[in-house]
Amino acid sequence: MPTEDTFYGHLQRRGVNRRDFLKFCTVMAASLGLGSGATNQIAEALETKKRLPVIWRHLQECTCCTESFIRTQHPIAADIILNMISLDYDETLMAAAGHHAEAAAQKVMEENKGNYILAIEGSIPTKDDGIYCVLAGRTAVDILKEEAKNAKAIIAWGSCATVGCVQSANPNPTGAVAVQDIIKDKPIINVPGCPPIAEVMAGVITHLLTFERLPELDSQGRPKAFYGHRIHDKCNRRAYFDAGLFVESFDDQGAKEGWCLYKVGCKGPNTYNSCSNLEWNGGLSYPIKSGHPCIGCSEKGFWDNTGGQSLYTHLSDVPGLKIGMNVDTFGAAAVGAAVAGAAVHAGLSAVTKKAHDKAEAGKSNKNSMGG
């Protein structure tokens, strides 16, 4: 029987059955892009290893990452995710407050030196000695440096912690920066998005607990399993992009037909995330599928990438586009080609019909003469 301190032992005490536990392991293996054999490996790790002690700090943010983390589609999945870790400090979810809360964080650092995970949600203000985010009388910068010192690894949740998000947008009045801009001597997993998808967050923690190492990361420190492809690559509207059929304004006929949203600001071709693959709310949908353009929330500087214009301003240059022209030109050319093709088709159809009618008339005259 699993011990009380393991993840699975804790789940059993909470009444989660074996079948649901194995379903969770299967989903995590698939989400991480691992083979079918990984399900048993994940299950064994969660049955035998102790839960990860975690300090989860909220700095300059709106708490949307925590909201995403706890709001999975199925209650059992939410219970599994929250019980996978020993969440010893989280201002949003813990019952303790004030001195008792801070004492809990100190206890984790002392008893689990070099073996706890520091999760950061939010950017860090550095202007004016960091006074724009103060907790228990201490600046966010000081707290981050202290708690990162003996952490096993750091998870930067959301775009605030990974790239600064809206707080660092021009003119960046608080001097907001990302975790990686301050901490240089610890392994950091960047999990961008505003917020990240719950299953992505669960996948990162599952990988850490199962394999006791960081998942494979890209050049920006993001897990390749979830940020290895553009939203554009698996978008349900991709065929319309390739055909040059774009929504020109909301509620036009193209919007009603489900055409590509690129010209009304969609940043899918420039954004790396799992939205079009995993989708949100248990695979129900994601912004583009629901009719709204992607705003590129997992990319650095997405608030400023349109040059101070609206988020609904599209970018003409698309990385990897091999048609030799920008999207505006391509859209016009594609539509022009479609119109020209329709005209040619109509012309050929008219000629064919005229020839057919002439042949039918000849047969009719011959039959009449034969009669």
Known binding positions for [4Fe-4S] cluster: 62, 65, 160, 194, 232, 235, 260, 266
Q: Give yes or no for a contact between 111 and 126, defined as CB atoms under 8 angstroms apart.
A: no
Token pair recorded at residue 308: 């101070």
Cα angle value 129/133/134 (rounded, 5°)? 90
CA dihedral angle for residue 140, residue 142, residue 146, residue 149, rounded to 10 degrees = 90
Q: Which residues contact 72 (CB under 8 A, 6 or more apart)?
A: 78, 81, 198, 199, 202, 282
Beta strand pairing status for 176-177 and 124-125?
A: antiparallel
CA 115 to chain centre: 28
- Do 306 and 170 form a contact (C-beta atoms < 8 A)? no
Phi, then psi, of 234 in degrees rounded to 5: -120, 20
Helix axes 38-48, 198-211, angle to 10 degrees: 70
Q: Which positions make up the binding site?
A: 62, 65, 160, 194, 232, 235, 260, 266, 275, 294, 297
Backbone φ, ψ for residue 146 (5° rounding): -65, -45
Q: Where does residue 289 fall: left (phi above 0), alpha (psi -120 to 50 degrees), or beta otherwise? A: alpha
Residues 6+ apart with CB under 8 A from 341: none
Binding annotation for [3Fe-4S] cluster: 275, 294, 297
Tell me how far apart the alpha carbons of residues 86 and 107 are, in angstroms, rounded to a whole number.
Answer: 13
Contact by Cβ (8 Å): 330, 323: yes
Paired strand residues for 116: 151
